[in-house]
Amino acid sequence: MNKNIYLQIFNDYSDKIQKGQLVPGTKLPSENDITVEYGTSRETVRKALNLLAQYGYIHKVRGKGSYVLDIGRMDFPITGLISFKQMSKKFGWDTKTHVDEVKRVPANAEVARQLHIPANEPVWRVTRAREIEGERIILDKDYFLSSIVEQLSEEIASHSIYEYLEGVLQLKISYAKKEISVEEVTAEDRRLLDLHDFNHIVVVKNYVFLENTTLFQFTESRHRLDKFQFVDFARRVHGEDLP
């Protein structure tokens, strides 16, 4: 039970902040106090506090202390990877998934470029419409390298593909690059979504990599304009501009 002390500390304090037991604007105990509280070393405490700061729960000021922020419980944290399934569970939405297609096809030029593979290489194409509170709002188009994901089915696609990939296939998904832009609505969007008379659609492109740094999935999530939101938390870097 003494494993990952810093995660324990992180979870304890993020819970307290989310539950309002620690009021925004107030100070956390000092690092030394927390060190004593958990009977651990200061570097371990600092690791936990830095995580809290990274997630927007607290803000640290040298010479003063760590302050509780009021944006720890964010409305829509897409920052980081989070699947549709996790999201809807988190917000208690009434959701449904409509699988339009699960098919192994040769990659067309566009997809081949996105996945960095030769054209006509076989890929799984999965097309799903997401219904939230009675309206079809999101169109997910996934492409998987079929050299890595050998089998797929409508059955799997109607649940969580990620659970299948990580649970059954034991793939280790490690990081992703995400791009948000706006495109014109296509005939397919119109066919599969409740689009009213919108002419544009928000497109979130997601390039997903495995632990061995191979790109194995490309996903295009097409969101109806009026239902799209993205929230981010950013820290300003003083002095050097790192990025």
Partner DNA sequence: AAGTGGTCTAGACCACGCG
Partner DNA sequence: GCGTGGTCTAGACCACTTC
Q: Which residues bind a second copy (CB under 8 A)?
A: 7, 10-11, 14, 25, 43, 51, 55-56, 59, 61, 67, 69, 71, 74, 77, 79-82, 86, 172-182, 198-200, 202, 209, 211-213, 225-226, 228-238, 240-243
Burial, 224: exposed, middle or buried (Cβ in 10 Å; 0-12, 13-18, 19+)?
A: buried
Q: Is 12 in the site for DNA (CB under 7 A)?
A: no
Q: Is 166 in the site for DNA (CB under 7 A)?
A: no
Return the number of other C-beta atoms located less than 10 Å from residue 35's C-beta: 18
d(CA 142, CA 61): 43
Q: How far is the CB of 160 from DNA (least distance, A)?
A: 23
Find which of a second copy, DNA, none residue 148 binds, CB within 5 to 8 Å per kind.
none
List 13, 17, 40, 201, residue binding DNA (CB under 7 A)? 40
Contact window for DNA (CB under 7 A) among 62-70, 123-131, 149-157, 181-189 = 62-70
DSSP H helices in 67-195: 84-91, 109-115, 154-158, 161-163, 187-192
d(CA 154, CA 140): 14
Q: What are phi and psi of 159, to 5 degrees?
A: -100, -135
Q: Is 28 in the site for DNA (CB under 7 A)?
A: yes
Contact window for DNA (CB under 7 A) among 2-10, 77-85, 123-131, 227-235 = 2-10
Q: What are phi and psi of 68, to 5 degrees?
A: -80, 130
What distance, in Å, lies between the first and last C-alpha atoms of the chain?
Answer: 38
Enumerate residues 6+ apart whose C-beta is below 8 A from 51.
6, 10
Q: Is 66 in the site for DNA (CB under 7 A)?
A: yes
Which tokens go with 208? 């997903």
List 60, 98, 104, 178, residue binding DNA (CB under 7 A)? 60
Find which of DNA, a second copy, none residue 158 binds, CB within 5 to 8 Å per kind.
none
Which tokens go with 144? 């998987």
Residue among 81 and 148 whose Cβ is closer to a second copy: 81
Q: How far is the CB of 173 from a second copy (least distance, A)?
A: 5
Q: List interacting residues with DNA (CB under 7 A).
A: 2-7, 28, 30-33, 39-44, 46-47, 49, 60-66
